[in-house]
Structure 1
Amino acid sequence: MIPVELRAGDHYPAVIVGGGQAGLSVSWHLVQAGVEHVVIERESAAHEWRDGRWDNFTLVTPNWHCRLPGYAYDGPDPDGFMTRDEVYAWVRGYADGFDTPVAEGVEVRRVDRRDDGVFVVQTSVGEITADTVTSATGGYHRPITPSWAGALPDRIVQMHSHHYRNAGQLPGTVLVVGTGQSGTQIAEDLHLEGRRVHLAVGRAPRVARFYRGRDCMTWLADMGVYDVPAGAQAAAKRAATNHYVTGRDGGRDIDLRLFAAQGMGLHGRAIGITDGTLAFDDTLAADLDHADSVAESIKNDIDAYIAREGIEAPTEERYRPVWAPDGGPTTLDLDDIDAVVWAIGFRADWSWLGDLGVLDVSGHPQHERGITTVPGFSFVGLPWLHTWGSGRFHAIARDAEHVAASIVAASRDVLAVR
């Protein structure tokens, strides 16, 4: 990595906003093509892997999925799951392994485009210009908490999952709200620490960790599921929460029913506070059934693939629920909880894009495989940028190559004009 001291008045053929794996991957291609550019990172390269995950975090995808342009996981455990610190070291090692020019500690505050097609980039160190700009900031920017969170008593510690590190941060009994990947794994983390945990369950699906002798995500990769273009998928699937599972301790299922049988309190979706009581709706049974049905449907697809391809694989007994709720809405007296972890996601913040015209009427990025209708502006690292594999290690290299090619072409066009 080559540290860059960004200065007001600088001009670059290409600016990449965001120094995570997506931005670094685009930079790798530009370095190979000889295109002058700079990666602008508000914190430090790859910092989200170190600063944005809890202590016991692991990847939920096998290590062999980890491959960036010119750089692939080559450690001793390709079917294992790197820890938080191992992932940070791996991505940071990528940044330090080639001549990517990175301006760390610089915030991009706004991007506009002049009538002559040049982008004006307002940063914390002043205004610079660029022929092309690529957003590599991902799509998860502002932690979400419900509007009624402020009605909780001051004595109850509140924390978003983004800021959770370990059980020691929280007192007593903890309510976790949300059952995406973060919510379920944090609930498990607290549960394994012997804490009393309540979990407000949402509609997120789950997937078995292993089935018929292999990791389910390895089966799905072989089946081409991660390579199906976004346009061929239903909008509801693209908007759905990712399946929950864990890579902890070598990888295993996350079975919320088993947690309940072991003493965790499961509830439906949290809907508000009345007279010192937190209310949950009557969706728990249906949402647990839904999560199980998705996991079993994935196994059905794997069975069909094994049969179709004539693959020899061991048979396996199917999942049997170990616990079921009584049914009906539930409540929880606020005196019975000491802390809440909000794990209900993030809201994207694209306000820094100003009036570029790269967002749709709903305020979401509008693009085709990352390329927008505004000449010279592109996105990379977004979920479903092109396929289900986008936004994760599995397809970053492919997405970055496509976006970088457009930047290289735009740079040559500018040089031709000049």
Structure 2
Amino acid sequence: MGATDKGDDPIVESKPNDQGPDLTLRALEERIRQQEILAELGVTALQGASFDELLTATVRLTAQGLRAEFCKVLEHIPSENRFLVRAGVGWNPGIIGVASVGADLASPAGFALRTGKPVISNHLENEDRFRTPEILQQHGVRRAMNVILQGDGKPFGVLEVDSRSKNEFVEHDLAFLQGAANILGMAIERERYERRLKAALERDEVLLKEVNHRVKNSLAIVASMLRLQARDVGDGELIEHLNEASRRVAAVGRAHDQLFQGSDVERRDIGKYIEAVCKDLDESVAHCEVHTDVDEGIEIPTDRAISSALIVNELIANAAKYAYPNQSGGKISIRVSRSGENDFAISVRDEGAGLPANFDLGKAKGLGMRIISAFAQQLNATIVVHPQNPGTEFVVFIPLDALPAS
């Protein structure tokens, strides 16, 4: 027996009538079936099957296409110079994911990996080019065919089909096997790329969380410095202004911290976000009961979520400060809901003293109301004030997305 080593020609046992006469009708039908199988395998890959699902489909369909009892994917483990049976069909229990074979040149799979050349061996019992792996001996395999599995610039391993029958693998079978390996190789490349991308995203997420943590700490330090400054001044009005500034800086820090609790940094479920912000209010509203009722699934860009949350924070602070001035506590209700196809609404209601009869939102001079108006203008939002009995309700109607630039 001999072997060819020119170019990428396969290593095949020499046989007097290797190709034989013209293909019979049965053989032609078999080739057509093999092409259908390759198409089916390609569709499976394109439909986004997981890597393990595609491995399983490959070995199953390849065995069918070659009318063989066995097929397996051998994953190369460089540190051990061996192949792990990563997936397979027809093998006894305890083989897949456990058994391994040598990856040296003396094994058919090892030769295919090292040289990049396919290997056909139709008579393993008489084979003098390679040793027959023990796993094949145990299963009574008489013939085998191997092709390399490429992927992302370096070999993943080998795709091998094995059979107990006395029939022979021919070059047409090799073309089919190589086609299956090529499809699987593209999936291997995609899987490795996705794994690297996931690792990069995880690194970016760690960095983002670190930056977020530092921003939060920096804002907390600023708020603390303002509170300390308030203690050292003798002017009551200035003390109040400094404490208000400290509260607002701390509110920004809390809103920022809640913003980066999720994985999507570009969009935010505004209902869940407002609910989280309301659970993290400072001690200035501790005497009030804050209740939330939100519709989930209303997603808006992150920058709009921040401004919306800060409007809510200011409305809650105003309600706690002015609606219940002489009471030990009171109820503040927050509602987030859809408002038509392109807007959502945030309602902040108290059951307190109510607004002055001559209250005009557009002419309000308090810093809190001016901040609310500024954020509303930024969001192209509309604020409606509803006097209640008792209390007051502010409703902010906000577009889901920013209007396109004119």
Structure-2-length-normalised TM-score = 0.19
Structure-1-length-normalised TM-score = 0.19
Relative contact order (C-alpha < 8 Å, sep 6+): which is higher?
Answer: 1
Q: Which of the pair has more CA radius of gyration?
A: 2
